[in-house]
Structure 1
């Protein structure tokens, strides 16, 4: 990160004017609102009005453990291929997690600049670590994003909350929104055992209908599915890295896992083209 490249993404969360460097680790706007970046390569503009909690250290660690084993590598590769087809120069990853999917995209487009955004400071720190072309932002996706208008060519949104109106604003004209959602069969074995949350039926169809009203047209749709044969540690990491971890106890999870656990992983990769409203 450099303070200059970080500032080029951002606007003031208070008055919405552009942020610019002002001092070694400070960004400010023309209204003299000032914000401190940190030496780990990111800035927090989440504010304190809402009591929101991002992913914990344990969740981020579990995600890192599971993803580093390559179980979701086919999903990362398909997403990266779709993004590379667009030839973007600026990529915003909303809900970046550990940066696993963004890193896969940048392997295909190493010259691109990226901003990894998440509510979890732990996640953002992992995303920016060791990447000179990735800046970091801690922010709340449900609020007005502290990101400038038309700042991104592509938005990544992988298993993360969405703010369609704000996504439309921060995407350039004809930019792409790439969304990954689970299919109904995703983690069905764990759900049957009460270890994972339910997946709503017709999730992709409902999302497409919602985004169509917000200025996005579905342009591509890929379905991926695989049977993963996991040991208890891997299965526990899979449960612990997602929202199911908020509703399960680690010891209880361990007691329900078999020595070898077959788990269905099924996703949809949806590409939406921004249109003018």
Structure 2
């Protein structure tokens, strides 16, 4: 890549404009993903700002602080960017990049400026050279383990956050038959990591918070598994508390030949985004 005044050019001569808000779009022809619009990501941003995920944020930052090498950290599937911003504050001397395939996610994330470098990019084709990243953060979102292995330095760390059994159980109960429990489970992600990677640590974080009336609708709208919910049929006044329940797994690739076999596994939870590319699910 070669930087110009208002764009970046690749070795093949393709030119990618830097937006007025300061982010780089490397998938300019990507069609919008249904449901993943600015309203969706703004709802997520407000929920994060209001502290419902505070303990997960703190645990993620603590996990990265314990690593010996954090010169370059990427938040892969960064959404509205709250975790990447936290990492940048916790690691002020690190280069932090936030990547998401949804342009509206990066548009929301880039608001307010800051040190994080924002990229609209596909996790199936991460625009970084081999062995250049010290740590990858992948929170409640599908992963592409082949690409993660490619860009991580030997000994680099993946910090993977997946939903635990009590995650958003109040929302499940409120929605009744409109949501199934299968929408909230991790689909074997932790077992996959145990089989194919060197798991360094596992920690569970559970936080139950009272729901402010003005946040109830955002809690529903921030979840892609709730896209099919009929909002008017919900008694939002009865959503008085919400539980965030997560498992944080720190793991390293073993660099065995088969370590990534069948490795493209989704971590499904309220807030998980499905890539348009099935290989990155």
Query: Which whole-Å CA distance do the structure 1 matches of 2:108 and 2:185 have between them?
Result: 33
Structure of greater relative contact order (alpha carbons < 8 Å, 6+ residues apart): 2
The reply on whether 1:262 has 2:244 as its aligned counterpart is no
3-state DSSP class of the match of 1:247?
A: coil
3-state DSSP class of the match of 1:193?
A: helix
The reply on whether 1:198 has 2:181 as its aligned counterpart is yes
How many correspondences in the alignment?
253
Offset, 1:193 = 2.5
* Equivalent runs, 1:36-55 vs 2, <5 Å: 36-46=17-27, 48=29, 52-53=33-34, 55=36
Query: Which whole-Å CA distance do the structure 1 matches of 2:231 and 2:30 have between them?
Result: 31
Q: 1:54 to 1:219 in 2, by over 3 A?
A: farther
Offset, 1:109 = 0.9
Would you say the 8 A contact 1:182–1:199 is kept in 2?
no
Q: 1:197 to 1:55 in 2, by over 3 A?
A: farther
1:31-84 Cα offsets, whole Å, 9 max, x none, are 323222222111112254777447211111111211111121111011100001
Which residue is equivalent to 1:3?
none
Segments of 5+ residues of structure 1 without an aligned counterpart are 1-18
Q: 1:201 to 1:238 in 2, by over 3 A?
A: closer
The reply on whether 1:250 has 2:231 as its aligned counterpart is yes
The reply on whether 1:222 has 2:203 as its aligned counterpart is yes
Offset, 1:100 = 1.2
Query: Which whole-Å CA distance do the structure 2 matches of 1:50 and 1:275 have between them?
Result: 36
When the two chains are superposed, the root-mean-square deviation of aligned CA atoms in Å is 2.4
TM-score scaled by length of structure 2: 0.81
Which residue is equivalent to 1:27?
8
Which residue is equivalent to 2:37?
56
